[in-house]
Amino acid sequence: MRNVLITGASRGIGAAAARLFAENGDRVFLNYCHSEKNVQALCQELTDKGYSVFSIRADVSDPQAVRRMFGILREDSIDIDVLVNNAGIAQTKLFTDLTDEDWDKMIAVNLSSAFYCCRAALPSMIRKHSGRIINISSVWGQIGGSCEVHYSAAKAGMIGLTKALAMEEGLSGITVNCIAPGVIQTDMLSPYNDEELQALRNETPTGTLGTPSDVAHAIYFLASPASSFITGQVLGVNGGLC
């Protein structure tokens, strides 16, 4: 049984990934910051089915909170085998309107959090000469998004982190990969109206929007033995958008 930590696991992609890992026999730790009701409901749903899942609260944009979270895990002799850096926020705003606070928060939640969690998880992975890290970026980190410059920059940074860390940890038996979802039906689409959503469908070659399950299956594949010779890669789950 592997120990899997998924950040931002209370809903959307994180929750879908948690379900998939749990259903396949892994012990899953659902990290969350604010959405306690959501994560507790998910834990109840999965434990009622006999799966091994646990919630763990931490603001992963705070390095001290990440240290405490991993400290709690170590106290129970739990080493993380699979780390999914999924926590993220979105904001649509003109570049000229962005404040220092907007920028700092976006980078902290969408990029620095992955750095903090990787830094905390790697020592035990290196010691065991085994581990999987999957970082969640975005298609906008690849091509850029108008009115989402800070979001695009953070997600592009996630790609750079992935590629460099994969180079560094390859000989340690650890793979580091990145998924760049396209337009996925999650809460992040709530600011868009029906007309805007249809425009996004029209821009996607498949003519559809993705689902959290689409991304979750890609995450699970990159965490599986079938992907052992894949590292430093960016897998687009985007319906052909990029």
Active site residues: 151
Give the Cα separation of 30 and 19 in Å (integer).
Answer: 10
**Residue burial 155-193, b: 16+ Cβ < 10 Å; e: rest:** bbbbbebbbebbeebeeeebbbbbbbbbbbebebeeeee
Other beta carbons within 10 angstroms of residue 18's beta carbon come to 30
Beta bridge partners of 210: 184
